[in-house]
A and B are shown apart, each in its own frame.
Chain A
Amino acid sequence: MNDPVVPAPALSLFRATSFTRKKIRVQKAAGILFGAMACALLVPLLALVVYLVVNAWPALTWEFLTDVPQGGMRRGGIWPALIGTLYLVVFSRLFSTPVGVLAGVYLNEYAKDNWLTRVVNLAVVNLAGVPSIVHALFGVGAFVIFAGLGKSVLAASLTLAIMTLPVMIVATREALAAVPMAFRVACWNLGASRWQTIRTIVLPNSIGGILTGVILEVCRAAGETAPIMFTGAIFFKAVERWDFFPYSPREQCMALSYHLHAISTQVPGVPEPMLYATAVVLLGFVLAFNSLAIVVRFRMRQRKKW
């Protein structure tokens, strides 16, 4: 066999022109620039974590987590605030998860495109844009005063629930919308009702996305200070060590975010490492739940069925 002879005009097709050289240069520059921006994201997070942990180091002990505040919050730990945050998160999720998921299912699976649906969608978007301090004032008016709950775990949780509801609804809708329409049509053609289709096909394949939404909103509920400041957070409550049920739902409770605010601005003479350690615990809480969300998403992608 002879070597194939490539005619000269065909070769010239592959020669780089000044236009293609410029194209490649721009392509490289764009890659570097965008990559740098993405990496730049890591800098503030790492700086924040390192700065907090270094400053908090002397106070970061197991004792700090499990001990109660002593000496006017200047010694001891954060146990009641930790448990209080857990209370607020659990109660607010109990309210907001069912309402958010059911509303999301309705809007994505049942609602026809009419004025009512459009009004509800508009409400969801606007509710998401309301600042948390305004939610706090609404909570005071609606739950503390009007509903007569007083400043309590219930009132604070309901306020947090309202605040996180829009994101819950949107996350649910997006998870449901990721299930291809063709599956629903196939089920309907087999004589399945809308609910049977949702129960057997749509929900099992979107539950991961919905769970991710729940977890992300746990972080938000744990971190916000403003909504609970006027509706249920308390400066100090005497609590036993290792007491897992120190608050009744009708009582006020301590919370990490509010505790951090209180000891950094209201109490003079708190040792600095204690302030930083409280911030580290709050941040750790949020990062741990975010990582859980990443694990859920990863598992979900592995189980992807189409």
Chain B
Amino acid sequence: MVNNVKIEIRGLSVSYGLRPALHGISLDIPARGIFAIIGPANSGKSTLLKCVNRTVEFERGARVRGEVRIDGVNVFRSGNVYALRRRIGMVFPLPVGLPLSVYDNVAYAPRMAGLRDRRALDDVVERCLRQAALWEEVKDRLTSLGTLLSGGQQQRLTIARALSHDPEILCLDEFSIAIDPVTTMRIEDVLTQLKSRMTIVLVTNLVQQARRLGDLTCFLNRGEVVQVDRTAMIFSDRPGNQLTYDYTRGIFG
């Protein structure tokens, strides 16, 4: 697949204390489109995402070697970590509504970046809530607490928040494990619409989700890349790797 590369990962190793999480992996993630990452527990999927926006530095005892380059710039050498994080939207497995109003939740990141203009904030809030397919449900109660929304709504609120600083990259870490299948489908539709505009990295435990959404799929196991290929290839009858075949067929182990 010929495409310009957005995220280059080179020889990335991460260990938490003595426990290794990633073993010198290298990956090219193309600009735009959905890059799905599958793999069993402890394969290093979440750690990989945390390296992209450097939140891995908050983990206790985390040691990182290697490079993650976004548009050719090594993130670990980037002087302004806050500017870096604003280029990347992050969504985690469990929805986290901040203890603020729905409006303030979405306006949080722009405000922390210094945006004060009320009109501009209004625009951001409406645009992001629409993008996350939540606007119609909450437009009449923007002032009520974000933490009082249902789980599925909170996860869409989290996505709206992740989109609020207009990121070039959107990382989702098993976003659907705490929400119902209908909401999951709605969010998947949203992702499909967004992928023409941004690079989406989707970590998922549901191989079928990767199959539905991914343009490319990467299979990670025990901190190493087993295979990266077009999604159709990974899920074909002959992916070219026995481990991949077993994992996607659910006969792994």
Residues of A within 8 A of B (CB): 113, 182-183, 185-193, 196, 200-201, 205, 305-306
Contact = CB atoms under 8 A, between A and B. Distances in A.
A130 to B, nearest CB: 32
A265 to B, nearest CB: 53
Interface stretch (B108-116, B187-195, B198-206): B108-116
Contacts of B231: none
Contacts of B62: none
Contacts of B164: 190
Point out which of A182, A183, A190, A192 has the most chain B C-beta atoms below 10 A from its C-beta: A190
A306 B247 CA distance: 39
A190 B91 CA distance: 10
A52 to B, nearest CB: 44
Contacts of B158: 186
Contact of B108 (A192, A205, A306): A192
A260 to B, nearest CB: 45
A161 to B, nearest CB: 32
A183 B95 CA distance: 10
Contacts of A200: 100, 108, 112
B169 to A, nearest CB: 12
Contacts of B90: 189
29 contacts: A113-B60, A182-B92, A182-B94, A182-B96, A185-B55, A185-B96, A186-B92, A186-B96, A187-B108, A188-B58, A189-B53, A189-B55, A189-B85, A189-B92, A189-B162, A190-B85, A190-B86, A190-B108, A190-B162, A190-B164, A190-B165, A191-B112, A191-B113, A191-B165, A196-B112, A200-B100, A200-B108, A201-B98, A306-B147
Interface string B44-79: 000000000101001010000000000000000000
A287 to B, nearest CB: 33
A183 B96 contact: yes
B178 interface: no
A207 to B, nearest CB: 13
A211 B211 CA distance: 53
Given A190-B108, A191-B109, A201-B99, 14 more contacts: A182-B92, A185-B92, A186-B96, A186-B98, A186-B158, A186-B161, A189-B162, A190-B161, A190-B164, A191-B82, A191-B84, A193-B112, A201-B100, A306-B99
Given A185-B55, A191-B113, A192-B108, A305 B96 contact: no
A192 B111 CA distance: 9
A189 B99 CA distance: 16
Given A191-B109, A192-B112, A200-B108, A183 B99 contact: yes
B226 interface: no
Contact of B99 (A185, A190, A193, A305): A305
Point out which of B53, B96, B164 has the most chain A C-beta atoms below 10 A from its C-beta: B96
Q: Lowest 8 CB-CB distances: which A-B pairs, in order?
A: A305-B99, A190-B109, A191-B85, A191-B86, A189-B90, A306-B147, A192-B112, A186-B96
A104 to B, nearest CB: 20
B83 interface: yes
Nearest to B57: A188
A188 B85 contact: yes
B243 interface: no
B99 A205 contact: yes
B5 interface: no
Interface in B142-175: 145, 147, 158, 161-162, 164-165
A190 B55 contact: no
B55 A188 contact: yes
A237 B76 CA distance: 67
Contacts of A305: 99, 145, 147
Nearest to B54: A188
Contacts of A186: 92, 96, 98, 158, 161
A187 B85 CA distance: 10
A189 B82 CA distance: 9
Contacts of B113: 191
Given A183-B98, A200-B108, A191 B83 contact: yes
A200 B58 CA distance: 19
A44 B58 CA distance: 50
Contacts of A306: 97, 99, 147
A306 B162 CA distance: 20
Contacts of B82: 191-193
A107 to B, nearest CB: 16
Nearest to A112: B60
A192 B98 CA distance: 13
B52 to A, nearest CB: 11
